Structure 1
């Protein structure tokens, strides 16, 4: 890092959109050897920066291209490079969108933009600012030549998640409609990104060896990522992103579709067979809403209901949805539109259909499969944030799972996970519009228009009324997000 700055003399502006300590660590690293580094932060955070001995310029309000106080601070600094600190799983699209517009219109001098991650403040990643601009990138025409390949990607480390991967996730996948089906239709490689400590446990496990009888398997150790213990949830997600980035790069140019598996999830029977069929129909991305369930309540009943003689867990869609609806995680419950303790990070909104299930609207969905149009694209944030738009910018390439009968995916989470996001108070339309403006891009807004149905029995007429109610909220929010500076006044 310091060699980079020595070779590239000039002024660096660090935009403090992450937590203070993350930004401090980045500035200390960038400031070694006397490099000229300035912070750009909200007015109410300036004093803490100055107490640490950092030079800082302030702005008021939230970052958007309409916020001239942010632009003024950057113009006063006149940076030769800009670094945006990423502190959690969310890419702050509002920051990059503002930089893109200001540079394109000549309001801000064109300069290099980088991201810096909270877990590795000395690591700068170049950001293509134009990716988040208002114009859509054209997708290349025609199909790629050559045989079809699938890389099934799992990033897993630590005893808790390694145990879940080996004893729940893998036996759930080792069924006729999942790994067996996809391995019979395409060339597949199961790639596990992990630590040296966990690699031996994985390699010697019965179910991993069974997977090796169906397809090629690889274990890739990434010890340089895992130098410390006790990761926070946001840092763990960023570490997973680094594993995903390595997987994306290794598949580049190989006519390969990537299937992103999570070690703490279970999926319905025939899901991967469905993935294969959708890809062969011409789609490039498969998006599915992954619901969080209480691991404590769900897991023992899941094993009891779906365990077969081979030790596997084939789980048909409706029975697994029925179980999940009884074991929803507190985070999931906080996303219901009428809940009195609503989430402060509303990437999902849910509407109950009395006794039958619920309708979901989601800004972020899990990309179960991505077959990139742009093979040079790599993820910067979590795999469901910036990578979608850069890898597959044309929404006609997307297949969204809108019915749990098609594919159902559930994440097994400890009850305490995400507790800090659950707050007293009900859903606020203006706050939601502000959230999606800051956290979303064009692909996310299209995903938000999709109505996702989770049900344990045949659909009745009452579902249509609930779908219409969800349309009213989403349509209003998508309009209001264009006036984020005004709507922010109504979020208190």
Structure 2
């Protein structure tokens, strides 16, 4: 077996986090050091030319070169961005270069973000799982508050030698006291549930949480389809293309086995809006239309993230989670028969005439924004700018255009707003109505049917098989 560890990292903040937080956590006896006398491995880094010197001069990187072969690849398309969506697109571009090279050597590819820490023994377990023939290892990578967790993690686990060897249960206990706002919004009983509930958490008092996930972190992949590369993200469209058979998947069900935590900046609040309770119909619509067959298969797996013993209390919480997932699967299949679902899955559409439109603003910066941009180009509309409720995205760039705060809409320097967010549709439309803007006159939803010069148009999503 051969392993390729793949990292895309650039910029002072992330390079520092990778070198001085992640590498000391990875270079432990149960993680990277098992490869010194174990399977053949290569550690591959994609970065900017200006970041190479900082990496090569770092103590932990030099120690890494004594454990395994390393490669540093510089690319000219990487640049610093505030926009997390654009940054992820650059990571995908790196992956599209790296994956074909790894596939030439039939290597197991280990995806290591530069802001993630692991429990001790994680990489030893990867070797053991890979030896069984599994092609995919997925782990629930919970989001933590970077600002508070990093110093607490280093105080708790850094030894005199500088390494941070973190046993699973103490790591989980510490991490659960530093949850990121996005992680908090994924709890089933939250008063401010995330609009994109791709994680669903159930609290077990004094012990941990039960997780049911539509998205897991693909820690390791051994692609069956070696011509496949990610077009979206490596946890989005890539797994189903590279490893289409779920029997080849190993989903980590217990944090005692493997655990990963991602350190996210506080300003990232994707999907967090006002007061919102969990809604089984919205969750079913999201899973059915926003995620593919493999994602819908993940959610059937019970994942225990715990620092205490598994007691009878866990059984009660797991039964509750099972009940929610059973209802979700029924609603997803029978959604057209539910009155509440008719607005989510309409059988026909009113066509909105938009011959007068010349200038548009796109509300949203995710995948929906790309679809809306394609629609605008097809209609020959000028995109004035994008807008988003995440203040961390303001004054950045996405899809080649400026991202502004929604307060910019007061200038009315547009003919139409295209609402381009499926999870945030309801909140954004309410926001626009409160600004005095009217649906179908001042703004539309990006899945609306429209006509321009007597030509009817609408965005269509490619259908995916249901779980």
Provide the residue aligned with 1:175 in structure 2: 28
Choose the corresponding residue for 2:295, options 424, 430, 444. 444
Structure 2 CA distance for partners of 1:338 and 1:221, relative to 1, 3 Å: same
- 1:484 shift after superposition: 5.2
String of CA shifts for 1:432-476, please: whole Å, max 9, x gaps. Answer: 111111221111111110011111011101111111111111122
1:258-273 maps to which residues of 2 (within 5 A)?
258-273=109-124
CA distance in 1, matches of 2:239, 2:42: 22
Gaps of 5+ in 2: 345-425, 427-467
- 1:183 shift after superposition: 3.8
Q: Say if 1:288 and 1:368, in contact at 8 Å, map to a contact too.
A: yes
Greater fraction of residues in helix: 1
Q: Say if 2:145 and 2:179, in contact at 8 Å, map to a contact too.
A: yes
TM-score, normalising length: structure 2: 0.71
Give secondary structure in 1 for the equivalent of 2:77: helix
- 1:423 shift after superposition: 3.2
Choose the corresponding residue for 1:190, options 43, 49, 54. 43
1:374 is aligned to 2:225: yes
> What is the RMSD of the two structures over their aligned residues, measured on CA atoms?
1.5
- 1:394 shift after superposition: 1.1
Give secondary structure in 1 for the equivalent of 2:72: strand
Q: Say if 2:24 and 2:164, in contact at 8 Å, map to a contact too.
A: yes
Choose the corresponding residue for 1:281, options 128, 132, 144. 132
Choose the corresponding residue for 1:318, options 151, 169, 178. 169
Q: Say if 1:433 and 1:477, in contact at 8 Å, map to a contact too.
A: yes
Give secondary structure in 1 for the equivalent of 2:215: coil
Provide the residue aligned with 1:217 in structure 2: 70
Choose the corresponding residue for 2:156, options 305, 308, 320. 305
Q: Say if 2:81 and 2:87, in contact at 8 Å, map to a contact too.
A: no
Q: Say if 1:331 and 1:422, in contact at 8 Å, map to a contact too.
A: no
Provide the residue aligned with 2:183 in structure 1: 332
- 1:414 shift after superposition: 1.6
Q: Say if 1:334 and 1:422, in contact at 8 Å, map to a contact too.
A: no
String of CA shifts for 1:244-297, please: whole Å, max 9, x gaps. Answer: 121111112312100000111110001000001100122111000000111122
String of CA shifts for 1:382-433, please: whole Å, max 9, x gaps. Answer: 1111111111111111111010111110011122212553432111111111
Gaps of 5+ in 1: 1-147
Structure 2 CA distance for partners of 1:333 and 1:473, relative to 1, 3 Å: same
Provide the residue aligned with 2:57 in structure 1: 204
Q: Say if 1:430 and 1:490, in contact at 8 Å, map to a contact too.
A: no
1:244 is aligned to 2:81: no
Provide the residue aligned with 1:151 in structure 2: 4
Q: Say if 1:155 and 1:262, in contact at 8 Å, map to a contact too.
A: yes
TM-score, normalising length: structure 1: 0.68
1:455 is aligned to 2:303: no
1:411 is aligned to 2:270: no
Name whichever of 382-391 and 418-427 sits farther off: 418-427
CA distance in 1, matches of 2:210, 2:330: 21
Provide the residue aligned with 1:478 in structure 2: 329
1:57-206 maps to which residues of 2 (within 5 A)?
148-206=1-59
CA distance in 1, matches of 2:190, 2:342: 23
String of CA shifts for 1:349-407, please: whole Å, max 9, x gaps. Answer: 00111121110000000000001111111111111111111111111111110101111
Aligned residues: 343
Give secondary structure in 1 for the equivalent of 2:257: coil
Q: Say if 2:116 and 2:263, in contact at 8 Å, map to a contact too.
A: yes
- 1:490 shift after superposition: 6.4
